[in-house]
Structure formats: C-alpha cells, structure tokens
Structure 1
Amino acid sequence: MKNPYKNQIKIEFDAVSQNEALARVIICGFLMELHPTVEELCDVKTALSEAVTNSIVHGYKDQSGKIKLICRIYNDKELYISVTDFGRGIEDISKAREPMFTTDRESERSGMGFTIMETFMDEFKVTSRVGKWTRIVMRKKIA
C-alpha cells in the first residue's frame, strides 16, 4: 500500500527547553524540499516552537517526559505537523484557547501560544486526555 504522503519524519525527544531549538532546525531542513518563502518558513518555525514550548512548560510542568514530533509533506505541497506530549493534559481546551489565558500565572507567559499557532497555520487542532496526553495538529499549504 502506497503512503498518502510524499515524505515523513518521526522523532521523539526529551521535553527540555534546549530541544525547542532542535525542533525548529528539524522543520527547516524538512521543509526545504518545498522551497518555502521566508515568511512561510518563519510562520512554521514559530508555530512549531510554540507547540513544543507548550508541551514542555504546561504538559510536563517541571517534570521529565518525551515529545513526539511527526511531520509529513503531501503531494499537494501541504505540510502536516503533529506534536504530542504525554503529560498532564488539558482540562478545558476551549478555555485554554482563549487569548491571554495561562495556567502559569507565576511566570512571564502571555497565554498567546494557541492563538499564534492558529494565526500562522492554515489548520490548527488540539486534542487531549487529562492525565494522559495532549496533541497539537497543524497544517499549512506551502506556495
């Protein structure tokens, strides 16, 4: 059976802040075959950075864990990104998606991560099971 996508990578890494930069480098290299514009590349890097940071800061909250990153390129030049953590989960996704909402009021977090991801990508979806996992799926058509 032929894969519905043209290319795919799957990687799992530790949920530590240093690996947020690694995720950005990975997506840049992966995306090059589509010859993205600088704006498209910046949009994707920023959205992925926000997703990984959310997993580290909110999913695990000072605990160790893993983040699973899946990236696919489809024949119609669509980029698919899935970021999954296996941390605390999100109790109320609708509330969490509100601009300026944050569960970490003690830090300098702005509560704009989901808003940024949704703005920079064509499609954005969050699913979660409390105490189990959170998955962010994003798609973007590359001109």
Structure 2
Amino acid sequence: MKNHMKLEFLSVSENEPFARNTIAAFCLSLNPTLDELSDIKTAVSEAVTNCIVHAYKGGTGTVTIECETDGNALHIQITDNGKGIEDVPRALEPFYTTLSDEERSGMGFTIMQTFMNDFRVQSKKGTGTTVFMSKYFNRNDGTDELADAE
C-alpha cells in the first residue's frame, strides 16, 4: 500500500529533531528494525542540517520533506530553495566542505549514501537543492517482493 506525507518547516536547528522523528514515525508501518530506524533518522538529520547550515547560511528559509511508502520501500525527498550547490560531484566527495573555517567534517552526503539504499542530489546554483533517498525493508511477512520471488 502507498502512503504519502509532506512536511514544511523553517530552516532553524530546533526543527531538525522534529523532522527526523516525524519521518521515523511515518515509516513505522514498514516495520523497520531499530538499526534501520536509526539509519533513516541519521540520514534525514544530515540532509536537514545541510539545508540549515549551507542553503540558508546567514538567514532562514523553508525546508520541505516529502515521503512515500510503497510496498517495502520508503522514499524521501528533502528540498530547500537556498543558494544551491555549485559543483555537486565535488560536494559528494568525503570530507569536502565549503565551511572549512567552521567545525564541519564534510561527511554529510557520505553518511546519507551509507545509510540509505538509493541516494542522489539535484541542485542548481541560486535555486536550491533536493536530496532523494530510499530505504528498502526486508519485512519477511509475505509482503516483501524479494522474499516472494525466491
């Protein structure tokens, strides 16, 4: 069964826990393990933090999260309308950061890629950035398409 939700909030750090916990609650119908739930919360936290720290540096804007459950999959789309990423391939490199004078590790995108099954970034300088992530669950309750195929 498909389900969909949309969440929009100001890009302030107080909203990051709200976002990660809301997405975690939304995906509970997929019966994630605690490890899977932790992975999702971490990836969402990194994406939202990137919006807050990089997209709207020096000001606030809006972060929009859209989620969909479809079968055994959770699809997440996190969008900002901030300053965008000039060089996406470079930004995806581990340890790359545009804020080297601050305490930033440059590992946000790497963490998102590691914890999610599918990941991609779409960005245009001056327009904003969208992060697309998916997580697939092995539910073993007769509804998992991979288990049914075996």
TM-score (normalizing by structure 2): 0.90
Q: Deviations over 1:4-34 (max 9, x none)?
A: x610110110000011000111012101111
Gap runs ≥5 in structure 1? none
Q: Is residue 99 from structure 1 mapped to residue 94 from structure 2 by the alignment?
A: yes
Q: 120, 125, 129: which one pairs with 2:124?
A: 129
Q: Is 1:42 matched up with 2:69?
A: no
Deviations 1:22-56 (A, max 9, x none): 01110121011111000000000000000000011
The sequence identity of aligned pairs, in percent, is 50
Which of 102, 107, 112 in structure 2 is aligned with 1:117? 112
How far apart are the structure 2 equivalents of 1:115 and 1:107? 19
CA distance in 1, matches of 2:17, 2:136: 23
Q: Is residue 2:76 matched to residue 1:59?
A: no
Question: Number of residues paired by the alignment?
Answer: 138
Q: Residue 58 of structure 2 aligns to a residue in which SS?
A: coil
Partner Cα distance (1:62, 1:78) in 2: 36
1:41-80 deviation line (CA, Å, top 9, x unaligned): 00000000000000110111121100000010002x1000
Gaps of 5+ in 2: 139-150
1:88 to 79, 83, 95: 83
Q: Quote the offset at 1:107 in angstroms.
A: 1.1
Distance 2:135 2:116 in 1: 5
**2:5 matched residue in structure 1:** 9
Runs in 1 of length 4+ with deviation above 6 angstroms?
Answer: none
